[in-house]
Structure 1
Amino acid sequence: MYFSKRIIFCLFGLFMFLALVSVQATAADDFFQNVDEYNNLRYGNQYIMIVINQNDNAQGRFAVETTGGAPARENDDDKPLIYGRPNPWTSYTSLWINNEKYVFGGKTERRAGKGAKYGEVIKPPTVEDGNVITTTKFGDVVVEQILTIVKSSTTGLADSAQIKYRITNNGSESEKVGLRIMLDTMLGENDGAPFRLGEDTIDSDKLYYDKQLDDFWQAFDSISDPQVTSQGSFIGPDVTIPDRVYFSDWGSLADGVWDFDFNPGQDFIRKGEYETDSAVAMYWVPEIIDAGATKTYVTKYGLGGITIVPGILSLGVTSAAEVTLDQNNNSFPVVAYLENTSEIRANDVSIKLDLPAGFTADQSVKNIGNMESGGISQLTWNVRPLDLDNLPAEITYRVTADATNTDSNQVERKVKFLGPPVLDADISLMEKVESVAGKLEPNPFRVQAEISNLGESALYGVESELIFPPGLVPAESEKPLKNLGNLQSGESLKVNWSIKALRVEGTLPFALKVSGLNGFEKTIVKEIELPQLNPLIYLKETTGKVDADYYSIDIVAANIGQADNISFDLNYNADKLLLTHVSRGDFFVRNGKFLPFNRPQRAARGNLHFNQDFPFATSNGIIATVHFKLKDPEHGKLSISDLKAVNELGNEIKIKIKNISEEE
């Protein structure tokens, strides 16, 4: 009889796991959006949806609810995970800006954030590329709330809400900014379920610092038959580790915009009332954000994945479905939950973790002792590979629960190992850049970087910064740093910059710095080719106010920075033009003062001879403007000849001539 029960329990657990995998493989990533009767914007898929308040009262606040919920459960459809009916208002985000405390989004007179300071909502909730974006401005500090649906670490399904805040300092001075995200969690109808973090069951006020946090916390009402299982993430490749986390009652957190009435060990009884009401607040301490810089914070909350086999000792096991390990992150947690569903005490209970060859964990067997009827225990292991460089594609581990007076139970669960993100990039010109009259056209011009992830795992919170070589600068209003979101395995993203060239040419190296959450950084160096800018002197008709009886031309130089002396003849048709005077060009005017300028000599009729020194570092400009009175409506041909240029060492420099009769 014992053997039969054990087989039945294992087969049931295997069936639940296979059903989950089957749904995961076939589920379509279809998303919907609509506006409900209470003017909430709803964005979701077959598992969960995010509900965002569009009304002026508490605009931008959000809730999370299930739609179809977990595929293996039929009783978790249409359940709240963050309270928000009929309109979200109980969860809110606070900002600490230069020692002042503010609330994100629209004002409210309700309890959560009542009487607080608010900014200006400059962008109401808007769906863009799968993200719901709301933007609030606090002086020079602009904060974007970006909500989207992403995969849960433990289910592997798109059943979690990613909650991101991007803070940009648009001012000219640095700002000190901190962030608090407070979530009014709820499990269906249960507003006070305990939080489970590592081996801790949290049912009263408790504070954790960053070094004390586990990868995730979960909440559920029962192991044998959970109605809803929720999960929040603290550590991982797609989240920003908070500096502090408070688990407390909602009333205290609602009343305190930043600081609040915190009493360690006090039950989650809503402050001023008599009902249980739990909430969680994540803090990121204030940091300096330089002028023009951006800081991003990310967390996740949604459904949790637990592989459960019911029984007298109901056993649930969870861990990340996919793991990327390296020298800095060389282990992953396994969490086991055990519930005594019998009416008797279970004696001498123990739980054992069985790992495949090549993996280890401290204290694989853990003794719980006696468990009273209805008791729940939870245990954790940190699993490590013996050789990080030779990881299998996947492993299966087993957790077994035993007691001396009940049947045992066991659960198996799989973990996939993925390699890290591997990035490559290509940088190219988006338009043909040519040398026209000694200058680049167009200028500014556009370049595009295509960034590809050739690795097995995604990179989250991607930012790309183009580092310019000398002589190239961002065009007006262009920012070198761009936020790109997430870069999945096998995916490519394109990002553009507008660039202005300052007298550069040829093969130019660009450094593309790509960074992601949790310290990921890679610099990729690529080259682009700009046309050569040869030294040039050309004639150009003077623009501006024109007298019908007079005619003027500019003698223009481009890229002659190496020249120390230039001589040439200007030839014109003296039968059609009468020379009146020659004025110096902007080459010989600096800071409102005239620089030495050699007046040209009339060498012969229809000829002016220029012999000019250029002892100053200027490459482009007008050498002189020559003015004529028209003898004939047709001014005839003008040209430059006998040009000679030398550098400061007396070596000759080749300078191209372009006369006015030639095509541009």
Structure 2
Amino acid sequence: MLKFFCFIAPLLLIPSLLTSATLSNKHLLVDVEEETARIFISTIDGKEDVEGDERINLLFFDKPPSSYTVLYVHRDAITFGGERGIYIKRPVAIGDKIETIWEDKTVNVKQVVEFVKRKNTRTEDGVLITYTIKNISKYSRTVGLRILFDTSLGEKGIYHFELPTGEQIRYETEYLGDDQPRAWISKDTKRNPQHILRGVIRGELVTTPDKIVFANYKSLFENLFSYRIRRKRKFDYPPYSRNDSAIAMYFIPYYLYPGETREYSTILGLSGEEEYGEDVVEIIQIEEEPGVIEEIIEKPEEIKLKENIDLDLLNEELERIKRIRELIAEENRLMEEMNRILEIENNILKEEELNRLKEA
């Protein structure tokens, strides 16, 4: 692999951290680079039940980080955080989140990076990455996304990726639609197979992509749009890149009306089948003191109408309210019809895109 590899110590003042927003807990460190808003993740103490997984890079470290996101806006590919737009808010740690807001002339994009807990054990060993895209133009636009993660653990081992079913991925591979796995795994099969990065494809907090592709990093880097795999090609791109793997998650563009938003989320975490999820809210039943409810029912507060009401004025106001309700009902009917038409257009667009991906 033709890349320089190093680990970022969380308390070390090296140049990347001087220009980055950082979050850390006892398991993980997350770094969002200030100039590009690109994300890097490493372990601190890692999993409590795993030996020797301290200070392990889970994504490849470079300056800027090599994992990044591409926006698909009206048949154009725009790199999030790139020179074609401006920062409304550069990456900044606010409480337990790192927020970034960037926009170009058509879309406003908010990236939020935060730790997320397991559903039952409440272990906080996952990173939730969310993009909220808003159409700020005057016209309807098709908007989609590609998230590219430059992995590194599998490049030390026998195979680069693994699925929860045990299937090993040694060559370029893609999965579409319902054929996509629940998750993908990158691990060091040669030195320590317990060193694991796990990406969630299906789950409570994530947006399932339309397609995922495992391929050489440089090949994906040079093809911003849909990449055509070669099924027997390893993760090489001779003579420029060897044994260098990555995963790309594609979200097919959908129409957004002016002012409309759409959200995409994904999770990277450590090993373990337990799902990530929201806190479970415990419902506590409060016992009422005897007689309190009965007293409220038996002694309702009296409601009195004001005297000397102008009945003509009242009838006129009621008629005006009736007309407003009729206008609202008509507007709702028109909106339902527009939504129906938009849904048909989105289904056609998605079907055409899926057919194009299958033919590619």
TM-score (norm 2): 0.70
Structure 1 distance, partners of 2:315, 2:194, is 83
Structure 2 distance, partners of 1:304, 1:155, is 14
Q: 1:489 and 2:280 equivalent? A: yes
RMSD: 3.4
Q: 1:80 and 2:57 equivalent? A: yes
Report the CA distance shift for 1:153/1:89 in structure 2 as closer, same or farther (over 3 A).
Answer: same
Report the CA distance shift for 1:42/1:34 in structure 2 as closer, same or farther (over 3 A).
Answer: farther
The answer to whether the Cα contact below 8 Å between 1:90 and 1:184 also exists between their aligned partners in 2 is yes
- Give the deviation of 1:171 after TM superposition: 3.7
Q: 1:52 and 2:29 equivalent? A: no
Pair member with larger Rg: 1
The answer to whether the Cα contact below 8 Å between 1:61 and 1:89 also exists between their aligned partners in 2 is yes
Report the CA distance shift for 1:186/1:223 in structure 2 as closer, same or farther (over 3 A).
Answer: closer
Q: Secondary structure at the match of 1:489?
A: coil
Report the CA distance shift for 1:191/1:81 in structure 2 as closer, same or farther (over 3 A).
Answer: farther
Equivalent of 2:71 in 78, 95, 98: 95
Cα deviation digits, residues 460-482 of structure 1 (max 9, x gap): xxxxxxxxxxxxxxxxxxxxxxx
> What is residue 263 of structure 2 aligned with on the other side?
296
The answer to whether the Cα contact below 8 Å between 1:152 and 1:303 also exists between their aligned partners in 2 is no
Structure 2 distance, partners of 1:69, 1:284, is 30
Q: 1:169 and 2:145 equivalent? A: no
Q: 1:64 and 2:18 equivalent? A: no
- Give the deviation of 1:165 after TM superposition: 0.7
Report the CA distance shift for 1:304/1:533 in structure 2 as closer, same or farther (over 3 A).
Answer: farther
Equivalent of 2:247 in 276, 280, 284: 280
The answer to whether the Cα contact below 8 Å between 2:153 and 2:160 also exists between their aligned partners in 1 is no
> What is residue 313 of structure 2 aligned with on the other side?
561
Report the CA distance shift for 1:72/1:120 in structure 2 as closer, same or farther (over 3 A).
Answer: same
- Give the deviation of 1:157 after TM superposition: 2.2
Q: Secondary structure at the match of 2:109?
A: strand
- Give the deviation of 1:84 after TM superposition: 2.1
Structure 2 distance, partners of 1:40, 1:201, is 35
> What is residue 103 of structure 2 aligned with on the other side?
137
1:552-631 equivalences in 2 (<5 Å): 561-562=313-314
Structure 2 distance, partners of 1:33, 1:149, is 19
Aligned letter for 1:259?
Answer: S
Report the CA distance shift for 1:299/1:532 in structure 2 as closer, same or farther (over 3 A).
Answer: farther
- Give the deviation of 1:153 after TM superposition: 7.0
Structure 2 distance, partners of 1:187, 1:282, is 19
1:157-556 equivalences in 2 (<5 Å): 157-187=123-153, 190=156, 193-197=159-163, 198-222=165-189, 225-226=192-193, 228-260=195-227, 262-270=229-237, 272-305=239-272, 319-320=273-274, 458=278, 488-490=279-281
The answer to whether the Cα contact below 8 Å between 1:194 and 1:219 also exists between their aligned partners in 2 is yes
Report the CA distance shift for 1:189/1:280 in structure 2 as closer, same or farther (over 3 A).
Answer: closer
Equivalent of 2:90 in 100, 120, 124: 124
Q: 1:37 and 2:15 equivalent? A: yes
- Give the deviation of 1:34 after TM superposition: 9.5
Report the CA distance shift for 1:98/1:225 in structure 2 as closer, same or farther (over 3 A).
Answer: closer
- Give the deviation of 1:160 after TM superposition: 1.5
Q: How much identity, in percent, do the aligned residues show? A: 27
The answer to whether the Cα contact below 8 Å between 1:106 and 1:121 also exists between their aligned partners in 2 is no
The answer to whether the Cα contact below 8 Å between 2:155 and 2:244 also exists between their aligned partners in 1 is no
Aligned letter for 1:42?
Answer: T
Q: Secondary structure at the match of 1:84?
A: coil
Aligned letter for 1:320?
Answer: E
Report the CA distance shift for 1:291/1:188 in structure 2 as closer, same or farther (over 3 A).
Answer: same
Aligned letter for 2:174?
Answer: L
Q: Secondary structure at the match of 1:105?
A: coil
Cα deviation digits, residues 446-502 of structure 1 (max 9, x gap): xxxxxxxxxxx73xxxxxxxxxxxxxxxxxxxxxxxxxxxxx22289xxxxxxxxxx
The answer to whether the Cα contact below 8 Å between 2:80 and 2:102 also exists between their aligned partners in 1 is yes
Report the CA distance shift for 1:214/1:260 in structure 2 as closer, same or farther (over 3 A).
Answer: closer
The answer to whether the Cα contact below 8 Å between 1:251 and 1:271 also exists between their aligned partners in 2 is no
Cα deviation digits, residues 150-186 of structure 1 (max 9, x gap): 1357986211211111111234432210110000011
The answer to whether the Cα contact below 8 Å between 1:250 and 1:271 also exists between their aligned partners in 2 is no
Greater strand content:
1
